[in-house]
Chains A and B, each alone.
Chain A
Amino acid sequence: MTHLVSNLTLKVWRQNGPADKGKFETHVIESITDEASFLEMLDVLNERLIGENKEAIVFDHDCREGICGTCSLMINGQAHGPQRGSTTCQLHMRSFKDDDTIVIEPWRANAFPIIKDLMVDRAAFDRIVESGGFITSPTGGAPDANLIPVPKPVADAAMDAAACIGCGACVAACPNSAANLFVGAKLTHLNLLPQGQAERYKRAEAMVDTMDEHFGSCTNHGECSAACPKEISLDVIALMNKDYRSAKFKNRKQLSRK
C-alpha cells in the first residue's frame, strides 16, 4: 500500500556544461509517495523547478525498466543507488526513509566527461565496441542457424555476459575508473561462442588496447560487479586477461605469417 516519504533533502549536482566547476544544489522534497520511482521523484522536482522559472535538472534516462542502460547517477555514494542488481530507474522511493538526505552526483571519470548536471558522455564505450566488439558477418552470408550447435552451458555463460546494458556503473563505481568489467563482458560473450572464434584474439587485442586509451586499470576491488545492474561476474575480467595475453602471442604469429 502507498505510503508517503517526507522531508527528503536532496543534494543534486548542478554543472552548467563541461567547463563549469559545478556545485551541489539543495532541494527539499516535502513528501512523495513511496510508489514513485527515483527518476519520477526527479520529474516532480523538475516540474517544480520549471514552475519556479528555473532550468530543469538534466539527467539521462529512457526505458525506465532497467534495460537500455541510459540512466546513471551516483546516489549516496553508490552507482545506481542502494538497491543491488538494479538500475537507478528501477529504484523506488520506498528504499528511503523520512528525513533522509540523498546526495546525487553524475558518474565521474575522465572517459565520461560531464555534459551538463547529471548527464555524462559515455561514447568511449562505443569506441571500444567499434574497435572490435563484434563478429564480422556481413548481411546475407550466414549459414543455417542450427549448423553449429552451441552447448547449452556455453550459450548460457555467453548470455550471462551479454546481459550487460552498457550503463557505465562499473566505471563509475571503480575507484580507478576502469572499464574492465564492460570490456570483459563483451569479450566473454563473443569469445565463448563458436561463432566468435575466428576473430577471438584480434578482438581481444583491439578492444583492450582501445580501452587502455580511455580508462584506468583494474585492482580487482570488485566494486564494478557489485554495482552492475546485471550482476556480471568478475570472471569475465579474468577471461579478458587471459585472451589478451594469448592475443599478444597469437596475433604476432599470424602477422608474421603474412
Chain B
Amino acid sequence: MTMLQDRPTNTKLISKVPDGALVDKWDNFKANAKLVNPSNKRKFKVIVVGTGLAGASAAASLAELGYRVDAFTFHDSPRRAHSIAAQGGINAAKNYQGDGDSVSRLFTDTIKGGDFRSREGNVYRLAQVSVNIIDQMVAQGVPFARDYGGLLDNRSFGGAQVSRTFYARGQTGQQLLLGAYQQLSRQIGLGGVRLFNRCELVDIVVIDGRAAGIVTRDLLTGELASHAAHAVVLATGGYGNAYYLSTNAMNCNVTAAWRAHQRGAYFANPCYTQIHPTCIPQADATQSKLTLMSESLRNDGRVWVPKNFDENRAAHEIPEQDRDYFLERLYPAYGNLAPRDISSRAAKRLVDKGLGVGPLKNGVYLDFAEAIGRLGRPVVEERYGNLFEMYERIAGENPYDQPMRIYPATHYTMGGLWVDYELQTTIPGLYAAGEANFSDHGTNRLGASALMQGLADGYFVLPYTISNGLAPLLNKTVPGTDHPEFKRVETEAKVRFQGYLNVRGTRSPDYFHRELGKLIWDYCGMERDRNGLERALTEIPALYSEFKKDLRVTGTGEGINQTLEKAGRVDDFFQLGTLMCKDALTREESAGGHFRVEYQTEEGEAVRDDENFCHVAAWEWTGDENNATRHEEQLSFETVQLATRSYK
C-alpha cells in the first residue's frame, strides 16, 4: 500500500474523519459532537434543497428535532423526486438471512466495489447505519416484501454473495420515498417545515466565507427570492442528464451543485459516472430518455449479436453458428453475469464495430429462447412477466417470441460536491447529501446502495453533524436577506435568465442538450481516451459558444416557462461537461466507472494506478469553466488492503 504523504494537500480538503478504530469513529464523533439545547433549536433555520430520499429524510428529521426548516423542490410535490424511480432495492447489513453478512462485510464490499476510491470512515458509517434505515422505514409503513412467516424477505443483488437487499416489488424507491415524504408531510402539517414547491434554487449566497442562504426562482411566476438560513443542505440528486439520454428523470439537473461549485464548493470526481448494462436502446431520434430493465434478466437471458455484419434475418432465423454469444465467449467463468462495466463495454465494442441489432443497430440481443425451452414458459413468466410486459409496452416487441434488445445507459453519478465526514462542503454551512455529494461509492456504486446512502445521509448523519455545526452559532447574528449580497446575487440571476431570453437565436435548449449529450457520451462515456477527451475539450466549448449565440427561448420570464428553465439547466450542463472531460483526462488510470482505454490489461480489465491516483480529485472554480483547479484528497486504507478487482 502506498501512502502519498508528500503530495501537497489543500487545506480546505480536510476530511475530518474522527480518530479511533474504524468501528468506533462514528460513536466517537457522536460522543464529542456539540449539541444544541432543545429550546434553542427554534432559533436556527435550516434550508434543505431537494426532497428526494436524502432531502425529505433530512428535512423531516431536522424539523422533528426542533429546527425551523424550509424545504425546496422544483417538483410540484416532494413525492415526485427522482428517487421514486428506483426499482431494485436497498441494502442493509441486517443479516436476517443468517448468510454471513455483517457491517464489516457490507463495508468491505462497498470499498472494493468502489475500486478503492472512497473514504473508509464514511463507508464504515454507512454500513453501520444501514441497519437503522430498515427499522425506520418499516416503522413508517414501507411494505417491504415478506416471506410466509411474515418476516422481511431479502434478495441478492448485483452479484453480491449475501442476500442483503430489501425490496418492495419492483418499486422500492417509490415506497421508500413515500415513507420519507409522509414523514416530511407530517412536519409540513405541523408547521415544522415550510415547503416551497415548484421553486428552483438558482444560486447560493456566501457571505464572509459562510453559506448564508439561497436565491430561488418561483417556477410559476418567475419571481426571484432570497432565503437566509444558518445552514443550507443540498440534496439535489445526480447529474446523469448531462448525457441527455440517461435513465434519470427528465428534470434531473446539476444546477444546485453547480451554483455551489461556482460559489466555492469543490466538485469531486465529476468523471465517475455509472453505466447500467441492461437498458432499452434508443428507438429513434425523438427519444427523450432511456428505461432501465432489471439486471436480474441476465440470470436467464443469453446475450448475443450476429456474427455477420450484413445480417438482416430476424433473430430467430439466425442459426446458432451465426451467433456470437460474446459474454460467454470472452468471460467463460461469468458468462452473461459478467460485471456491469465489463459487459457494458463488451456490448459497446461490438455495436461500435457495426454488429449491433435492431433498426438502428444500436443494441445487443438478450435472448430467453433457451430459458423458455429449459424452464418452460410459465416459469419464465413468473420470474420476469412484469418486466417482459414493460419491455413490450416500450419496444412494441414481445420478448417471448423475439429476443429483447438491450444497451448500456448512464444511470448514476458517483461524482458530486466534495464533502467531509460531516457532509459539509468546502463552504462552511453548506452541506450536500444523497447523490449530490461525491459520496461513499468511489468509482462505482453497488446495486441497491444509492437508496441506502441517501437515507443514511438524511436520517442518521446530517441531524448529528448539522447540530455540531450550528452549536457555535448560538446567539450570533447571521446575515439576513436584507444583506446587499443577497440583492446582488438575485440581480445576477435575473440578468442570467433575461440573458437566455435575449439571445433570440434559432435553436431550442433541447437541441443543444442533445448535441452536448452526444459529445459527452462519445468522449466521456463508457470508455474514455486521451484523444477523445482532448477533442471533447475543444468541441464542447465550441458548442457552448454557439449556445450563447444561437439559443432561442420563446415566451417571457414571468409565469411558467419550461423552455427557460431548460435553458438554465443546459447552460450548467455545458460547464459541468467540460469539467467531466477534464477530470477524466487528468485521471490517468482506469477504475470502476472510469475506464481509460490506455489503462487496461490484455483481457480488457481496468488497471488502477494506486501510486498516483489513490485520491479524490476535487475541483475548484476559478471563474472560467475551462480552467478549474484540481486539488487532491489523499485516500488511505487502514482496514481493507488495496487489491486488484478480479472477477475471474
Contact = CB atoms under 8 A, between A and B. Distances in A.
Do chains A and B make direct contact within the complex (CB under 8 angstroms)?
Answer: yes
Interface of A: 1-2, 16-17, 32-37, 39-41, 43-44, 46-47, 49-51, 53-56, 58, 60-65, 67-70, 83, 86, 90, 92, 94, 115-116, 119, 121-123, 125-126, 129-146, 149-152, 155-156, 158-159, 162-163, 165-166, 189-190, 193, 195-196
A65 B291 contact: yes
Interface of B: 57, 60-61, 64, 75-80, 82, 84-85, 94, 96, 132, 134-141, 143-152, 168-169, 171, 173-175, 178, 181-183, 185-186, 188-189, 195, 197, 220, 249-251, 283-284, 286-289, 291, 359, 393-396, 459-460, 463, 506, 508, 510-511, 552-555, 559-563
Contacts of A196: 141
Given A62-B80, A70-B75, A43 B288 contact: yes
29 contacts: A40-B286, A40-B287, A44-B286, A50-B563, A53-B554, A55-B554, A55-B561, A62-B249, A62-B250, A62-B251, A63-B84, A63-B249, A69-B80, A115-B220, A123-B77, A126-B185, A130-B186, A130-B189, A134-B182, A135-B182, A136-B186, A137-B136, A139-B459, A142-B135, A145-B144, A146-B96, A149-B151, A156-B143, A162-B168
Given A35-B396, A129-B182, A152-B147, A51 B508 contact: yes
B150 A67 contact: no
Given A69-B80, A122-B77, A137 B140 contact: yes
A67 B220 contact: no
A138 B220 CA distance: 33
B139 A135 contact: yes
A144 B82 CA distance: 28
B57 A50 contact: no
Contacts of A131: 189
Contacts of A36: 283-284, 286-287
A121 B149 CA distance: 43
A161 to B, nearest CB: 9
Given A123-B76, A135-B139, A135-B141, 11 more contacts: A40-B287, A55-B563, A61-B250, A65-B85, A68-B85, A130-B186, A134-B140, A145-B152, A151-B150, A152-B147, A190-B141
Contacts of A64: 249-250, 288-289, 291
Contacts of A37: 288
A96 to B, nearest CB: 13
A39 to B, nearest CB: 7
A53 B563 CA distance: 12
Nearest to B219: A115
Nearest to A33: B284
Contacts of B79: 69, 126, 166
Contacts of A163: 169, 171, 174
Given A62-B80, A65-B291, A189 B85 contact: no
A50 B508 contact: yes
A82 B250 CA distance: 24
B197 A134 contact: no
A122 B136 CA distance: 28
B76 A34 contact: no
Contacts of B145: 155
A166 B185 CA distance: 14
B365 to A, nearest CB: 15
B186 A63 contact: no
A196 B559 CA distance: 41
B168 A159 contact: yes
Contacts of B134: 145
Nearest to A64: B289
Given A40-B288, A134-B186, A135-B182, A50 B249 contact: no
B640 to A, nearest CB: 28
Contacts of B183: 134, 137, 139
The residue in B61, B96, B147, B250 that gathers the most chain A C-beta atoms within 10 A of its C-beta is B250
A142 B61 CA distance: 13
A196 B179 CA distance: 12
A72 B168 CA distance: 25
A16 B75 CA distance: 20
Contacts of B57: 139
Contact of B150 (A43, A51, A116, A152): A152
A197 to B, nearest CB: 11
B197 A155 contact: no
B499 to A, nearest CB: 17
Contacts of A54: 554
A182 B396 CA distance: 30
B184 to A, nearest CB: 9
A140 B136 CA distance: 7
Contacts of B181: 129
Given A56-B555, A139-B459, A86 B393 contact: yes
A94 B396 contact: yes
Contacts of B144: 145, 155
B26 to A, nearest CB: 14
A229 B199 CA distance: 27
A191 B359 CA distance: 49
A14 to B, nearest CB: 12
Nearest 4 pairs between A and B by C-beta?
A149-B150, A130-B189, A134-B182, A142-B139
Contacts of A47: 508, 510-511
Nearest to B94: A145
A195 B287 contact: no
Nearest to A134: B182
A67 B139 contact: no
A18 to B, nearest CB: 10
B555 A166 contact: no
Nearest to A54: B554
A134 B94 contact: no
Contacts of B169: 159, 163
B394 A92 contact: yes
Given A33-B286, A92-B394, A62 B135 contact: no
B297 to A, nearest CB: 16
Given A64-B249, A143-B135, A146-B151, A43 B143 contact: no
Contact of A35 (B152, B284, B459): B284
A116 B561 CA distance: 10
A152 B85 CA distance: 24
Given A58-B562, A145-B152, A129 B287 contact: no
Contacts of A60: 76
Contacts of B143: 150, 155-156, 158-159, 162, 189, 193
A152 B152 CA distance: 9
A182 B195 CA distance: 22
Nearest to B134: A145
B132 A142 contact: yes
A86 B554 CA distance: 32
A155 B96 CA distance: 18
Contacts of B559: 16-17, 116
Contact of B139 (A49, A116, A119, A195): A195
Nearest to B62: A139
B84 A68 contact: yes
Contacts of B64: 138-139
Contacts of A133: 182, 185
A40 B288 CA distance: 7
A155 B167 CA distance: 12
A150 B149 CA distance: 8
Contacts of B148: 152
Contact of A144 (B135, B149, B291): B135
A115 B96 CA distance: 49
A31 to B, nearest CB: 12
A119 B224 CA distance: 21
